[in-house]
């Protein structure tokens, strides 16, 4: 079956430009996650959606970062006024259900990522 | 604050060898620990998941162990093959928000034919 897809796969932006990164989760998956992975580092959590509700955005590095999932399926991560430090791979993951304390855990399936380079 | 460390950062071994990758974490109160494989341009694939109540998990040539008291996990790969070449990452989750994975920086593994 189809996995998590992300587009574009590569994005080059000039400093100051706005960018939008798209994630198509696995059909029927309730939860969706965004991660940022700098070169040579592990991913870092950005935000978490359960259906259309953004339940956790504690990892967003600044107010230039904004994520939405208006219909509970496709999600978009928007970065305004990009800076060079935003250069990274942005990973999206989805899971059948999300987890909170005591409610079980579902495996997260990852997309291939979008590599953003800000010049 | 939970911190995850993986040593070594890179490892190169001849084909056929058994090898061990290490992962350590600072807070032993984890919900679970996972090992992932990352191939260039292909995202992350979950290899093994160990719940906090478990000591180990096995899948084929892979065996992962968990020692919460010492804050350590190891990934054992038996009879390594060139196709095992990839970056291996471990990630832990906590009880308060078990969806939020805290990651190590990974070990880049190269298996030489």
Q: For A44-89, how does the pLDDT look when each residue is reduced to its tens digit (9 = 90+)? A: 999 999 999 999 999 999 999 999 999 999 999 999 999 999 999 9
Separation CA B54–CA B33 (nearest Å) = 10
Q: Which of A4, A26, A42, A43 to mutate to test the interface with B (most CBs of B within 10 A)?
A: A42
Q: What are phi and psi of A61, to 5 degrees?
A: -75, -25
User: What is the CA A36 to chain-centroid distance, rounded?
Assistant: 7
SS3 B82: helix
Cβ atoms within 10 Å of B82's Cβ, excluding its own: 10
CB of B50 within 8 A of CB of B64? Answer: yes
CB of A79 within 8 A of CB of A65? Answer: yes
**Are the Cβ atoms of B45 and A110 closer than 8 angstroms?**
yes
Separation CA B82–CA B25 (nearest Å) = 29
First to last CA, chain A: 37
Q: What's chain A's average pLDDT?
A: 91
Q: Which of B19, B36, B6, B35 is closest to B81 using CA atoms? A: B19
Tell me what pLDDT residue A105 has. Answer: 60
Tell me what pLDDT residue A3 has. Answer: 92
**Are the Cβ atoms of B42 and A112 closer than 8 angstroms?**
yes
Q: For B5-54, how does the pLDDT look when each residue is reduced to its tens digit (9 = 90+)? A: 999 999 999 999 999 999 999 999 998 999 999 998 778 999 999 989 99
Tell me what pLDDT residue A102 has. Answer: 41
């Amino acid at each position: 079956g189809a996995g998590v897809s992300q587009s574009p796969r590569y994005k080059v932006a000039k400093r100051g430009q706005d960018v939008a990164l798209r994630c198509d989760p696995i059909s029927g998956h309730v939860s969706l996650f965004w991660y940022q992975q700098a070169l040579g580092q592990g991913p870092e959590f950005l935000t978490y959606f359960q259906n259309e509700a953004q339940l956790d955005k504690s990892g967003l590095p600044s107010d230039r970062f904004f994520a939405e999932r208006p219909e509970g399926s496709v999600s978009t991560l928007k970065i305004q006024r990009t800076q060079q430090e935003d250069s990274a791979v942005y990973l999206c993951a989805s899971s059948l259900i999300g987890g909170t304390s005591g409610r079980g855990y579902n495996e997260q399936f990852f997309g291939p990522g979008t590599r953003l380079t800000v010049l | 604050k939970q911190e995850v460390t993986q040593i070594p950062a890179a490892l190169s071994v001849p084909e056929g060898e058994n090898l061990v990758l290490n992962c350590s974490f600072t807070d032993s109160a984890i919900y679970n620990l996972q090992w992932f494989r990352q191939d260039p341009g292909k995202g992350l694939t979950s290899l093994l998941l160990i719940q906090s109540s478990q000591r180990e998990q096995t899948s084929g040539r892979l065996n992962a162990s968990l020692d919460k008291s010492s804050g350590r996990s190891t990934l054992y790969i038996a009879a390594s093959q060139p196709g095992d070449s990839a970056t291996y990452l471990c990630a832990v989750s906590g009880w308060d928000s078990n969806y939020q994975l805290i990651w190590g920086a990974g070990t880049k593994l190269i298996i030489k034919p």
